[in-house]
Amino acid sequence: MEHPLLGIHHVTAIAGDAQRNLDFYAHSLGMRFVKLTVNFDDPGAYHFYFGDEAGSPGSLLTFFPHPGGYSGQRGAGQATTVGLAIPQGSLEAWIDHFARHAIDFHLGDERFGERYIYLDDPDGLRVELIETADANAAPGRAYGDITAEHSIRGIHSVTLSVGSLEAAARFYSERMGFSQEASTTERVRFRVGSGIGSLVDVVESSERGRVAVGSVHHVAFRTTGDAEQAIWHERALGLHLNTSPVMERDYFRSIYFREPSGVLFEIATDGPGMAIDEPVEALGQSLRLPAMYEPNRQEIERRLPPLVLPGGSR
């Protein structure tokens, strides 16, 4: 396919308590907190970004915290698992880390030649830590007792649950340009681009999912810039998908549509990136607001719950 997608840009999920979510991903998993901002569509709610040291596309896992929200349910029409990439040979270090901090986890069977462990985050989102050669050359980040050598490098994969595995696989191959790489009787693996954040697994579910706290809200795929995104916008419209206009998200521009199974997809530009409004060394240390909300900063800050950030309090 001409103008292919480059891989996964980010995955966005819904959390419950904001501080609990921040503590788990920043402290328990050692991911860098790279952006503290608000939901563009609801400035009374935070939007957290976690990733690598620079907040690179492909490394980003983001959350909309909604304290007191009802819990989601895994099933068709959503991404049900987020895989995080760790270097080969790192699994034992993570097993020791989780045991040391009394964090429940499970050892998975080897899948497509890769070892992994899985756990549920405090809101019930299924997270896998997967050993992959794609992570070996990516720079690491030490945090606490998590060494740079074994640290999370970014997104490994997402698992999409669909009503019909055959129909979904056909759509992803023919319409999205995903390349089928491997399969079992229950799972099909596609590659989108290369390197970190390039894998999409698809499984079939007879139960319909409910997106709420503890669920993935959407999966975003990468394009280089506006021209490539415009091509994908026209493609989505041509497929008669309910496609949004281009939306400004400050750190990237986005379009949204639901694929036929109901999973919400975003196509996001790689730029301008996380460092457009603060230097890389200061990422995630202060509340950044979209320009349209800046005049209401005092009111917005008063409504948002206080946080203890990895580098201090907000």
Q: Which CATH superfamily is domain 8-313 in?
A: 2,3-Dihydroxybiphenyl 1,2-Dioxygenase, domain 1 (3.10.180.10)
The structural domains of the chain, with segments of one domain joined by +, span 8-313
At 164-183, the pLDDT tens digits run: 999 999 999 999 999 999 99
Q: Is the confidence at residue 312, as pLDDT, over 70?
A: no
| Closest to 123 in 3D by CA, of 181, 58, 64, 201 | 64
The whole-number pLDDT of residue 311 equals 73
* Averaged pLDDT of the chain: 96
Confidence of residue 314 (pLDDT cuts 50, 70, 90): low
Q: Could you give the dihedral angle defined by the CA atoms of residues 24, 125, 105 and 187, in that order, rounded to the nearest 10 degrees? A: -140
At 244-258, the pLDDT tens digits run: 999 999 999 999 999
Q: Is the confidence at residue 30, as pLDDT, over 90?
A: yes
CA 254 to chain centre: 15
At 225-240, the pLDDT tens digits run: 999 999 999 999 999 9
pTM of the model: 0.97
- Cβ atoms of 192 and 149 within 8 Å: the answer is no
- Cβ atoms of 187 and 172 within 8 Å: the answer is no
Q: What percentage of the chain exceeds 70 in pLDDT?
A: 99
The whole-number pLDDT of residue 137 equals 87
